[in-house]
Amino acid sequence: MSLEHRLHDRCACGSSLSSYSQALGAARPFALAGVQRVYERSRPFKVEHIALDLSLHISKKSVTGVATLELARIDARATEVALDAVGFDLESVELSLEGADAFAPATHGYDGQVLRVQIPERAAKASIRVKYRATPRRGLYFLAPDEHVQDRPTQVWSQCQDEDARHIFPCIDKPHNKQTTALRVTVPPGWFALSNGALENDEAEQQKGIYRYRFDDPHPSYLFSLVAGEFARIDAEAEGVKLHYFVPKGREADGARTFRRTPEMVRRFGALTGVPYPWKSYSQIVVSDFIFGGMENTTATTMYEHILLDERAAQDITSDDLIAHELAHHWFGDLVTCRDWSHAWLNEGFATYMEHVDREGNLGRDEYEHGVRTDVTTYVSEAHGRYRRPIVCQDYEAPIDIFDRHLYEKGGCVLHMLRLELGDEAFWRGVGVYLRRHARGIVETRDLMRALEEESGKSLERFFEQWVYRAGHPELDVKIECEGETCTVSVKQAQHQPGKESKDGEGSGGLFAFDLVLDLAFEGEQGVRREVRQIDQANQVITLRVPKRPKFVVVDPELRIVGEVRVEAPRDLLRAQLAGAPTARGRLLAAAPLGKLDDPATTRALGESIAKEDEFWGVRAEAAAALGQIRSDEAFEVLAQHARTAHPKVRRAVISALGKFKTAKAADVLRAVALRDSSYLVEAEAARALGATRQSAAFDTLIEVLDKPSWADVIRAGAIDGLAALRDDRALSHVTARTRYGIPTRGRRAAIVALPKLSGDRKVRETLEELLDAADPYLKVDVVRAIVEMGDAKSRGALSRQLDRELDGRVRRRIREALRDLGASGKRETERLREEIESLRGEHAELKARLGKLEALVPAPKEDGETKKKTNGASAARATGRTSKAQNSEPTGERVGKAKKARKKDVRPAR
């Protein structure tokens, strides 16, 4: 199990708050039909400064402006500059050449997308002044309350990443052009306005609604910020940097609680990189209905409302990850900026990794390693369920297509690997060189690689070729066998890439070369013996000479492999590893394989792990998940005993595991927790797990908690997930009602994704198609996912019509994927087969539990202490597994008879 440490949306990557955000189906190629490779745009002129004079018209949701752009020539032969400017009503376009005292009308052309201005060849520098009006459909957003959402504040805020500044002012809307900025903005009197840099005008002018900001360091247009509304302000300071937190009035206590660690992060990131925070001030402002979780606008980060935590939320929810992420961008993205979006992992991968670095400094190495492990799992989920692509990738329709789990999570994990490869000192020294050398400039991946090579003395070309420029990851099956003075480790490696077939037809697409680290522990000895072997073949066998049989063997103890590592080892070694590995990661790694075993000793070992109050919570959570996989009566009893354990994250894992039991007893335990717990997340998980028990009595409880208020609407989302899992026809009307506008966004999203699980009829399909017109891009992405899950090709028309008018790149990408996938058949059949398999697994677990009880009455054969243990119980369990395909259609008596015959025929060593 991997309880998410990250509960927030971020710059442009979706939330990992709940399982309903996972992709559907098998991996496909990343590049969609007709997509052309994207190359960096030419720059015949550089914009050096943009001065804006804007007036906001709140009721009309429009802006009037004057933009003055100062240009410097790069191409001596160029006669035209092309400025991105979308949907402007131009009043005038004027030009002033270097040395001229005034502006004169400019020769120009405008097609509604690009403003082309003629520049005389002799001019080394020029200024362009554009007067215009605009009602932006992107980039600048106007909020106001309405009849359905009466508590929404009146606000205006910008969001320019990736290329939406062009909807607000004319600019070169690419990251390779960095300019200084100045802003004069007129807002309603009594409002506050925030932008980049220093506030320059006096309070008297501000009271009239006029604010002036100036930022004298170059930054790209996507980092421009404007936020206007009514806010309370909280001040702090770190290393001479002025810190300001702007929150809705009345939420000051929550703001102070949420942002309290910002000064510590400013100090930590400066010390580690050797580069102090680059600017004089740093503001964080919280707005409503923000389309990302946060956005790192230079000196002025915008945050969504769910970052604020009340006292109850703060016990097991943190906003530190989001705060650290956006702050880290002020080094990685703002100070040094990716040359073009194909290298955007230098922004997002670093910001994601710095979340883990902050967690390490604040909470310790166990939390750091658990966070990195969770990000590996998140990336792998996308790689299996959606597509695989290189981190550096130019095959996209819109830049936001690549703001995904490869860019964020895999990018961050690659930096974790680099740090291990080079060592802390050389890694951070190299990062410092990279930042100082390219400060206030633009970078590409080779710039980071060269800086790290210079400071470490190591060649990193093969590393970057494998992990950054190539798609996929290693998929390892590791089998450990120990007998006498020999320990054998068999490693099978696969690396699947869609469209690249290997000789055996499995699509391996090339193997990775890396070091496999093994830590061996021996009874009576302190510490571990470390063995390192290079893996570069599809099948390799490592033979280790040992003085005696190891107590346990930990595979990849430091997470040096960003991929999948599945371990098969003798059960006594796994139990010893769970109890005695020297690191939390080592202990945690033993839990999942133990979940595939069902014997009293394993159940006891997992129970003892959960019971250790001083154990790292992640180990205890993984042990709980393993018991949920075993699903025996004994496993249930252990989990039920810990349903009220003190640590909320462990409690949530226990509750989740109890949802694996399709029994009235499990439902009784979960019902009590769903109705009352000190944690929002635990109550939400209890509702989700309660529905998973498939007990009809759960319906009333889920309806009772369905509209219970909670942070980020997590309880409603959990209850809706529970209703979807319950598969009760009565739930459909309740879930459909929660898809309507006015329900908080995350609750609506959960309801949308739940609909196809409850019904596949025409009415549900039409409900989903109508929701394609919603304003929230996250919500529309989930609508598309739900339509794909329904698998009804009749939705192709509605999707195509939405694609024609859709502006959000995230939604466009999902629609295009959906149109491709709906051309295939079998989605509903796949879902039906998944449910059937899950049902068979439940039957199998119950039969194993019954057989285990019967075998407990028979004296067990003597064991020789080695891995070859011949037990009738293991054979019976295997026999039960081999007959499971037939169990769905055979009477119970026939199944039991066949199982008995199979037991007599098949007695082999347990695995």
pLDDT tens string 172-219: 999 999 999 999 999 999 999 999 999 999 999 999 999 999 999 999
Q: Is pLDDT of 555 > 80?
A: yes
- pLDDT tens per residue, range 115-136: 999 999 989 999 999 999 999 9
Q: What is the mean pLDDT of residues 271-280?
A: 98
Q: pLDDT band at residue 10, thresholds of 50, 70 and 90?
A: confident
Closest CA to 679 of 256, 317, 259, 257: 317
Q: pLDDT band at residue 79, thresholds of 50, 70 and 90?
A: very high
pLDDT of 510 reads 79
More confident residue, 560 or 100: 560
pLDDT of 462 reads 97
In angstroms, the CA 206 to CA 183 distance is: 13
Q: Is pLDDT of 552 > 80?
A: yes
In angstroms, the CA 129 to CA 146 distance is: 38
What tokens does 50 get?
A: 């943009």
The percentage of residues in the chain with a pLDDT greater than 70, rounded to a whole number, is 87
Q: What is the mean pLDDT of residues 535-543?
A: 96
Q: What is the mean pLDDT of residues 892-907?
A: 42
- pLDDT tens per residue, range 432-472: 999 999 999 999 999 999 999 999 999 999 999 999 999 99
Q: What is the mean pLDDT of residues 51-60?
A: 98
Phi/psi at 142 (5° precision) = -110, 120
pLDDT of 504 reads 37
pLDDT of 836 reads 64
Closest CA to 560 of 492, 496, 619, 474: 474
Q: How many CB atoms lie within 10 A of CB 408?
A: 29
pLDDT of 897 reads 46
Q: What is the mean pLDDT of residues 526-546?
A: 96
Phi/psi at 751 (5° precision) = -65, -40
pLDDT of 902 reads 43
- pLDDT tens per residue, range 699-721: 999 999 999 999 999 999 999 99
Q: Is pLDDT of 633 > 70?
A: yes
In the chain, DSSP finds a helix count (H) and a strand count (E) of 31, 31
In angstroms, the CA 478 to CA 251 distance is: 52
More confident residue, 460 or 824: 460
What tokens does 70 get?
A: 């100062």
Per-residue burial over 808-840, b if 16 or more Cβ lie within 10 Å, else e, is bbbbbbbbbbbbebbeeeebeeebeeeeeeeee
How far is the CA of 337 from the CAs of 3, 102, 287, 292, 777, in angstroms? Answer: 33, 34, 25, 20, 26
pLDDT of 860 reads 52
Q: pLDDT band at residue 837, thresholds of 50, 70 and 90?
A: confident
More confident residue, 906 or 218: 218
What tokens does 868 get?
A: 């070859």
274: left (phi over 0), alpha (psi -120 to 50) or beta: left
In angstroms, the CA 203 to CA 189 distance is: 12
Q: Scan for tokens 């997509």, then name that residue.
A: 35
Phi/psi at 714 (5° precision) = -70, -30
Mean of all residue pLDDT scores within the chain: 90
The percentage of residues in the chain with a pLDDT greater than 90, rounded to a whole number, is 84
Q: What is the mean pLDDT of residues 476-497?
A: 90
What 3 state SS string does 248-316 have? CCCCHHHHHHHHCCHHHHHHHHHHHHCCCCCCCEEEEEECCCCCCCEECCCCEEEECHHHCCCHHHHCC
Say which amino acid occupies 131: K
Q: Is pLDDT of 539 > 80?
A: yes
pLDDT of 709 reads 97
Q: What is the mean pLDDT of residues 337-343?
A: 97
- pLDDT tens per residue, range 740-785: 999 999 999 999 999 999 999 999 999 999 999 999 999 999 999 9
**Residues contacting 782, CB < 8 A, separation 6+:** 20, 21, 749, 752, 753
pLDDT of 11 reads 75
Least confident window among 90-104, 364-378, 543-557, 884-898 = 884-898
Alpha helical stretches, state H, 541-594: 571-580, 584-594
What 3 state SS string does 40-101 have? CCCCCEEEEEEEEEEEEECCCCEEEEEEEEEEEECCCCCCEEEEECCCEEEEEEEEEECCCC
Q: Is pLDDT of 28 > 90?
A: no
In angstroms, the CA 15 to CA 881 distance is: 37
- pLDDT tens per residue, range 776-823: 999 999 999 999 999 999 999 999 999 999 999 999 999 999 999 997
pLDDT of 858 reads 63
More confident residue, 98 or 409: 409
Q: Which helix (H) or strand (E) holds 28?
A: strand 28-29
Q: Is pLDDT of 875 > 70?
A: no
More confident residue, 788 or 11: 788
- Contact call for residues 535 and 491 (beta carbons, < 8 A): yes
- Contact call for residues 746 and 711 (beta carbons, < 8 A): no
